[in-house]
Structures are given as structure tokens and as C-alpha cells.
Amino acid sequence: MEGLIDLHTHSHYSDGTLPPAEVVALAAARGVAVLALTDHDTTAGLEEAQQACRTAGISLVAGVEVTAGWRGQEIHIVGLGIEPSSSALQTHLAHLLRLRRERVVAIGEKLQRSRKLSGMDPVSGVLASTAVPTRTHVARAIAQAGLAKTVQDAFDKFLGRGCPGYVPQEWPALPLAIDAIRSAGGHAVLAHPHRYRLSSGALRNLCAEFRDAGGSALEVSLPGLSPNDATRLASLARQHALAGTAGSDFHEPGLPWRPLGRFAKLAEGIEPLLPRLRIMGNE
């Protein structure tokens, strides 16, 4: 069997639960031959991932999932084949991490004012334990304190839009994210385009602007994608002359609906981005 290719995964350097070496070990056990580690707004796990990949005989694509804004909506741009030491990229990521910390502080202040949390502080521990605080971390803390049944329940009761701890965030605009990735020699991929709750027309506009700003590919295959969404994403890629990637968006072994390395092949007529990506340590 040919090796699998998974170009979207997370470690505990952002909101995944495993250290990079364990993500790599799991990938090896599943038959993954080419892996990208794409933590939210940080490249801090790539060195460890590279060491583990060398031992496991896996090719590592250096990646990062950059948070960006488009028409008031949060979108995610995966950068692949990046040079992590690029100062333009690191300056951009440092700015995103400042915004993330400020937002989590604001979430904590809002939650403290809401009586529903009964005095529990759900953010100090998060800020102390990670350089990349996400709402997923806060949701886990709330669930662990027994104030929500699950992480999803914590989002539904406390953190989602319209909830007592919801803090809107303006992220740096899409073209800035693409520029940061390209100045590090990487390719920009629009992550999980079907998850943004955009109308078909708005999603077409997003793809067109993404391509015009220098984007290379759409993420067209993920685990659990409905046949309808798979068809929509493939035709968006073809219409906008964008290449395609596939990835699991793996975060933790306990979430069986995002299994590492398991998703459909790229659809007929979609150009794979992989041949254009450099493998870390091979240059």
C-alpha cells in the first residue's frame, strides 16, 4: 500500500493534546508517509516533529494554521512548506499570539462577571500552561471543573456566539496571512472551507479573493466530509484554478471523528499541492 498523506494536524503546542513525537508515532502506526504539523499560530512544535519523523522514516512538511479575518468572520489559512525561521512569518505569529492572550483575558473577565460560573477562574491556568491559548483550552477547563458536561457543552453554554463568555475578535485580514506564509516560502491553503457557514455566493467570493491574494489551494478532503460538500469543494477548486490538499485536522486520539490519516483521496481533476511543497530538512 502506498503511504497516506495528511497535511493538517495539531499537537499540544496549540490545542491538540499530544506532543509532536506522539502525533508522529500515531501517524507512523496508521501508515502515513507524508505528514504536516499545522498548529494554530505557532511553529514551536516543528523541531520536535522533525526529529521524530527522521526516526520514523516519515517526510515532514513544515506547517502552521494561521488565524485570519474575512468580512468579520474568522477563517483559517494553513501554510505549508514554510521556512519556520522567516522573520516576517514569526512577526505575524507573535502578533496573533498577543491577540489570543488578550482575548482569553477578556473572556475570563466576562465569565467572572457572569454568575453562571460561580466564581471559578477558567483562564489563569490556560494562560499559564500554553503559549497559544484557544477557546478550546478554556472549554476544556470549564468541563474539567464540572461546570459543563463536555467541551461542546462548554461552548454551547459559555463560549459560543451569544453566550456570557463570547468575545468577538478581529483578526488580521486574509491577505496579511497569505503574505506572511508566502514570505516564508510557503503555500497558503484555505482550511475547511465548508465550515464557515457562508452562503454559496460568499464562499465563491472568498475563494476568488483568496486566489487573487496569492493563495495556492483549497482543503478539499477531510474526515467526515459529506458527499455533497466534497462535490462543492472540488468544483470550487476547479472553478478558481486552485490546487487541493487533504488532511485530518487531528487534535486528539479521543475524538474518533477526526482520525489521523483517514479521509478520501483528492477528487478527479484536482491538482495535488504536495509536489510543490518542500520537505523539512531536505533543502
Half-sphere exposure of 224 (CA within 13 A, CB side): 12
Specify the residue, 53 or 141, whose C-beta has the smaller distance to ligand AMP.
141
Query: By C-alpha distance, which of 124, 116, 36 is closest to 80?
Result: 36
Nearest distance in Å: CB 165, ligand AMP: 12
Size, binding site for ligand AMP by CB under 6 A: 7
Length of the chain: 283
x/- track of binding to ligand AMP for residues 39-78 (CB under 6 A): ----------------------------x-----------
The whole-angstrom separation of Cα 194 and Cα 37 is 21
Where does this chain touch ligand AMP (CB under 6 A) — which range of 128-136, 205-213, 231-239, 268-276? Answer: 128-136
Specify the residue, 38 or 67, whose C-beta has the smaller distance to ligand AMP.
67
Q: Which of residues 142-161 bind ligand AMP (CB under 6 A)?
A: 152, 155, 160
The whole-angstrom separation of Cα 31 and Cα 35 is 10
Burial 161-190 (b: 16+ CB within 10 A, else e): eebebebeeebbebbbbbbbbbbbebbbbb
The whole-angstrom separation of Cα 78 and Cα 41 is 10
Where does this chain touch ligand AMP (CB under 6 A) — which range of 24-32, 129-137, 255-263, 270-278? Answer: 129-137
Find which of Mn ion, ligand AMP, none residue 160 binds, CB within 5 to 8 Å per kind: ligand AMP
Specify the residue, 6 or 15, whose C-beta has the smaller distance to Mn ion.
15
Q: Which of residues 160-179 bind ligand AMP (CB under 6 A)?
A: 160
Find which of ligand AMP, Mn ion, none residue 6 binds, CB within 5 to 8 Å per kind: none
The residue of the chain with the least Cβ separation from Mn ion equals: 76
Nearest distance in Å: CB 119, ligand AMP: 23
Q: Which of 135, 140, 211, 258 binds ligand AMP (CB under 6 A)?
A: 135
Rounded-to-10 torsion of CA 248, 268, 206, 232: -90
Task: Give residue 49's Cα distance to chain centre.
Answer: 16
Where does this chain touch ligand AMP (CB under 6 A) — which range of 78-86, 112-120, 130-138, 273-281? Answer: 130-138
Written as nine digits, the cell of 4 is 497516506
Long-range contacts of 205-208 (CB under 8 A, 24+ apart): 206/70, 206/75, 207/236, 207/239, 207/240, 207/242, 208/240
Residues at the interface with ligand AMP (CB under 6 A):
67, 134-136, 152, 155, 160
